[in-house]
Amino acid sequence: MKNALHSFARVLVVISLWEIEVLCISDARLIQGTNANLGEALQFLREYDNEASQMCFRVNIARWNYATNMTDHNKRRMVEEQMHKEKFDKVSWKKAIAFDWTALSDPMAKRHLKLLVTKGRASLSDEKYNEIYHLISEMKDTYNHVRICPFNNYDPKFCNLELDPDVETLMAHSRNPAELIHIWTEWHDKTGPPLKNKFMRYVQLANQAARMNGFSDAGEQMRYVYEDDDFGHELVETWKSLQDLYKQLFTYVRKKLLIRYGSEYIRTDGPIPAHLLGDLWAQDWSKIADILLPYPAAKSLDVSEEMLKQGFTSLSMFQMAEEFYTSLGLKSMPPEFWRHSMFDKPNDRKVQCTASAWDFCNGIDYRIKQCTEVNMEHLITAHHEMAHIQYYLQYAEQPFLYRDGANPGFHEGIANAVILSISNPIHLHRIGLFNNSTNTFETNTNFLMIMALKKVAYAPFAYLVDQWRYRIFRDGVQNMNSAWWDLRLRYQGVVPPAKRKEQHLDAAAKKHIPADIPYINYYIALLLEFQIYEALCNAAGHTGQLHNCDIYRSREAGRLLG
Ligand SMILES: *[C@@H]1O[C@H](CO)[C@@H](O)[C@H](O)[C@H]1NC(C)=O
Ligand SMILES: *[C@@H]1O[C@H](CO)[C@@H](O)[C@H](O)[C@H]1NC(C)=O
Ligand SMILES: *[C@@H]1O[C@H](CO)[C@@H](O)[C@H](O)[C@H]1NC(C)=O
Ligand SMILES: *[C@@H]1O[C@H](CO)[C@@H](O)[C@H](O)[C@H]1NC(C)=O
Ligand SMILES: [Zn+2]
C-alpha cells in the first residue's frame, strides 16, 4: 500500500499549465445571413416562440412519463419526441441564420436571434448532427449501465453494484481503505475506457459544429452563453479569492485523516488520495463528517427524528415548503402542481428517483418529482426544488427564450441561497423542529464545518471539470487523463489511489462528461448562492453573523427574490 501510494503521490506544486485564455468574441465573426428585414425577423420569432413552447411541452410530458414510469414503451415515446425536437431545433437554426441579426435595430430581436444561432450544433450536416446526438446517447447509456463488483467478490453473480445508491453509499460509509480503493478503482476502470473512442469522436464533432458557427472551438461556444467577454478572467479571480480558505480546510481535513488512517495512507505534507474523502469524486466531504467534526459530541442539527415524532408526511413537507415561500409574499403552488407531482416513490413501477422540478412550458403545468422520505435532507430538497418552481412561475410571462435562469448558474444559485436560510438552526427553531435552548458554540461550529465540507470542498472540483473540457476542446485529445490529474492535483490537491494510464478516461467517472452537460454552472451557482443569500439577508434587515440569517416571513427579502 505504502509503495503504491508514494509512487503516484506528487507533492502539491503549482504546475504551470495553460491558463484560461482571455475571451474576446466579436459578434461579427459569428454566423449570420443577409436578411435585415426587421418585420420578417419579428414574424419568425413570434412563430418560433409559439412552436418552441409547444415542442417543449411535448418533450417534457414524454420525459416526465418515462421518468415516473420507466417502461420500454415510454422510453420509445420519449426518444421519438426528442428526435422531433432535434429536427425542430435544426430547422429553427437554419431560419435564424438567414437574418443579418447583428444589424437589426430592435435589441430584443437581435438578442433572441443571437441566442438561437449560437446555441446547439445545428450547423453540422444532417449526418453528423445525428451522429453526435447518437454518440452522446450511447455514452450516457454506457455510463448508466456500469455495474461494479463488491470488495473481494468478483463472482459475476454479485458484480451488480450501481452508482446510486450502492457505490455512493459504500464510498460514504466504508472506512476500510482497501475496500475504498477497490470501489474507487472499479468505478474509474469501468466508466472511462469503454467510452473513450466515442468521446474522442464527440470532441471532433462538437468542435466542427462550434467552428462552423464562428467559434474557435466547442469550449468557447460553451462559455459564450455567459455573454461575458471577461468570463475566463473572472473565473480565475474568483478562484484566487477562494483558494486560501480551501487550503485551510484541506490542511485541517488532511490532519484528521492522518489521525484516522495513519501515515501509511496519508502524507503529512502531500496531496490527499482521492478515495478517502467519502465521495467518488472527492467533491463533497460531509459524508465523512464523523471523522472531521471539531466537536463530535455536540448536539446534532439533524431534525429527522423530530420530524418523525411530529408525524410529518411527504405531503406536509411540501406544504411546509410552500408556506415558506408564501410567507415571503411569493406565489403559492398552482392546483396542477398538487395534482400531478410525484412526491412518493411508487411501488408498482420503476421510476427515476433523482429529485427534480419541471416546467412544462405552457404556463399552467409545474411539477416536482421526488421519492420523498421523512427526514431533514428531504425536507431541504423539497424547499430546493420548490425554489425552482417559484423561479418558473416568476418568468412564466416571458418569451420562451428568456424562460430560463439569467445565466446557466442562476437557477441553482437561487435554489441554494434559499436553502442556506432553511437549513440553519434559527429557521429550524422557528418552524418548531429544533430546540435551541441547547444551541451552543459547539453545535454552531459543527454546522459551519459541515457547510464548509459541502461547499468549500466542492469549489475546486466544480471549477476544474470544465477547465479540463475546455482544454480538450482547445488542445485536442492527447494526454487527456494526465491533464485531468494535473488539474485535480493543482486545484483539489488530490491524487488517484491507484495507477492511472492514458487508456483510462477518469473524467468520465463523472456523468456530466459522457452526457455532454456543462459543469462550470455549478461553480457559478456556488458563488451566486452566497451572494444572493447575503443580499436577501440585508433586505430582511438581518444583523449579526450571516449564517444565523433566516429570511422566513420577510416580505422585503421576498420582493427582492421575486
Ligand atoms: C406506465 O406506462 C405504461 C405504458 O408503457 C402504461 O400502460 C401504464 O398505465 C403506466 N402506469 C402508470 C401508473 O401510469
Ligand atoms: C480481501 O482479500 C485480501 C487479499 O486477498 C485479504 O488479505 C483480505 O483478508 C480479504 N478481506 C476480506 C474482508 O475478505
Ligand atoms: C428545550 O430544552 C430544554 C432543556 O433541555 C427543556 O427544558 C425545554 O422544555 C425544551 N423545550 C421544548 C419546546 O422542547
Ligand atoms: C433561540 O431562538 C430564539 C428565537 O429565534 C432566540 O431569540 C434565542 O436567542 C435563541 N437561543 C439560543 C440559545 O440560541
Ligand atoms: Zn436544483
Confidence band, pLDDT 50/70/90 cuts, at residue 414:
very high
Closest ligand by atom to 351 CA: 1
Query: What's residue 491's pLDDT?
Result: 98
Confidence band, pLDDT 50/70/90 cuts, at residue 25:
low
C-alpha 374 to ligand 4 mean position (Å): 26
> Considering 84, 512, 534, 547, which one is annotated as catalytic?
512
Amino acid at 513: I
Taking 70 as the threshold, does the pLDDT of residue 4 lie above it?
no
Closest ligand by atom to 386 CA: 5
Q: Identify which of 95, 105, 91, 102 has the alpha carbon closest to the alpha carbon of residue 29.
A: 102
* Binding residue numbers: 226, 384, 388, 412
* Binding residue numbers for chloride: 226
Cell of 29: 465573426
Mean pLDDT in residue range 201-214: 96
Mean pLDDT in residue range 194-219: 97
Query: What's residue 14's pLDDT?
Result: 33
Question: What are 97-144's pLDDT values in tens digits?
Answer: 999 999 999 999 999 999 999 988 999 999 999 999 999 999 999 999
Confidence band, pLDDT 50/70/90 cuts, at residue 28:
confident
Check pocket membership of 436 for ligand 4, CB cut-off 6 A.
yes
Atom of ligand 3 nearest to the CA of 435: 1
Which residues 6+ apart lie within 8 Å of 136 measured at CB? Answer: 202, 514, 515, 516
Helix (H, G, I), strand (E, B) or coil at 559: helix
The DSSP call for residue 35 is B
- Are the C-beta atoms of 458 and 203 separated by less than 8 Å? no
C-alpha 526 to ligand 1 mean position (Å): 38
Question: What are 354-364's pLDDT values in tens digits?
Answer: 999 999 999 99
C-alpha 512 to ligand 4 mean position (Å): 42
Mean pLDDT in residue range 525-539: 98
> Considering 385, 411, 427, 542, which one is annotated as catalytic?
385
Taking 70 as the threshold, does the pLDDT of residue 316 lie above it?
yes
d(CA 427, CA 432): 9
Query: What's residue 152's pLDDT?
Result: 84
Distances, alpha carbon 1 to alpha carbons 6, 7, 21, 259, 265, in Å: 9, 10, 40, 17, 8
The DSSP call for residue 499 is -
d(CA 255, CA 373): 35
* Binding residue numbers for Zn(2+): 384, 388, 412
For ligand 3, pick from 433, 437, 439, 440 the residue to mutate: most ligand atoms within 8 Å of CB: 437
Helix axes 126-144, 177-212, angle to 10 degrees: 170
In angstroms, what is the C-alpha Rg of the chain?
24
Confidence band, pLDDT 50/70/90 cuts, at residue 153:
confident
Amino acid at 219: G
Query: What's residue 426's pLDDT?
Result: 92
Confidence band, pLDDT 50/70/90 cuts, at residue 300:
confident
Atom of ligand 1 nearest to the CA of 71: 5
| Catalytic residue check, 547 | no
Query: What's residue 167's pLDDT?
Result: 96
d(CA 562, CA 546): 21
Taking 70 as the threshold, does the pLDDT of residue 12 lie above it?
no
Taking 90 as the threshold, does the pLDDT of residue 11 lie above it?
no
* 520 exposure class (CB count in 10 Å sphere: 0-12, 13-18, 19+): buried
d(CA 428, CA 386): 18
Taking 70 as the threshold, does the pLDDT of residue 22 lie above it?
no
Check pocket membership of 347 for ligand 3, CB cut-off 6 A.
no
Give the number of other Cβ atoms within 10 Å of residue 366's Cβ. 23
Q: CA angle, corner 512, sides to 507 and 514, nearest 5?
A: 70
Question: What are 512-527's pLDDT values in tens digits?
Answer: 999 999 999 999 999 9
> Atom 11 (ligand 1): residue with closest C-alpha?
69
Closest ligand by atom to 381 CA: 5
Taking 90 as the threshold, does the pLDDT of residue 341 lie above it?
yes
Backbone angles phi, psi at 77, to 5 degrees: -60, -40
Domain parsing of the chain, residue ranges: 299-439+521-561
Question: What are 540-559's pLDDT values in tens digits?
Answer: 999 999 999 999 999 999 99
With a pLDDT cut of 90, the percent of the chain lying above it is 89
Cis, bond preceding 165 (omega within 30 deg of 0)? yes
Query: What's residue 439's pLDDT?
Result: 66
Residue given cell 427534480 in the structure block: 356
Check pocket membership of 34 for ligand 3, CB cut-off 6 A.
no
Q: Identify which of 414, 321, 331 has the alpha carbon closest to the alpha carbon of residue 376.
A: 321
d(CA 74, CA 65): 6
> Atom 6 (ligand 3): residue with closest C-alpha?
437
| Catalytic residue check, 385 | yes
Pocket of ligand 1 (CB under 6 A): 69, 71, 73-74, 349
Query: What's residue 457's pLDDT?
Result: 98
Q: Identify which of 483, 406, 506 has the alpha carbon closest to the alpha carbon of residue 193.
A: 506
The pTM assigned to this predicted structure is 0.91
Question: What are 254-281's pLDDT values in tens digits?
Answer: 999 999 999 999 989 999 999 999 999 9
For ligand 4, pick from 429, 438, 547 the residue to mutate: most ligand atoms within 8 Å of CB: 429
Backbone angles phi, psi at 549, to 5 degrees: -85, 130
Atom of ligand 4 nearest to the CA of 437: 13
Question: What are 471-486's pLDDT values in tens digits?
Answer: 999 999 999 999 999 9
d(CA 29, CA 210): 12
- Are the C-beta atoms of 372 and 343 separated by less than 8 Å? yes
The secondary structure of 124-188, three-state, reads: CCHHHHHHHHHHHHHHHHHHHCCCECCCCCCCHHHCCECHHHHHHHHHHHCCCHHHHHHHHHHHH
Q: Identify which of 485, 2, 453 has the alpha carbon closest to the alpha carbon of residue 261.
A: 2
Q: CA angle, corner 530, sides to 526 and 533, nearest 5?
A: 130
d(CA 384, CA 422): 9
Residue given cell 485541517 in the structure block: 252
Taking 90 as the threshold, does the pLDDT of residue 17 lie above it?
no
Confidence band, pLDDT 50/70/90 cuts, at residue 157:
confident
- Are the C-beta atoms of 215 and 224 separated by less than 8 Å? yes
Residue given cell 454566423 in the structure block: 31
| Ramachandran bin of 434, using left for φ above 0, alpha for ψ from -120 to 50, beta for the remaining angles | beta
Check pocket membership of 440 for ligand 4, CB cut-off 6 A.
no
Cell of 402: 428568456
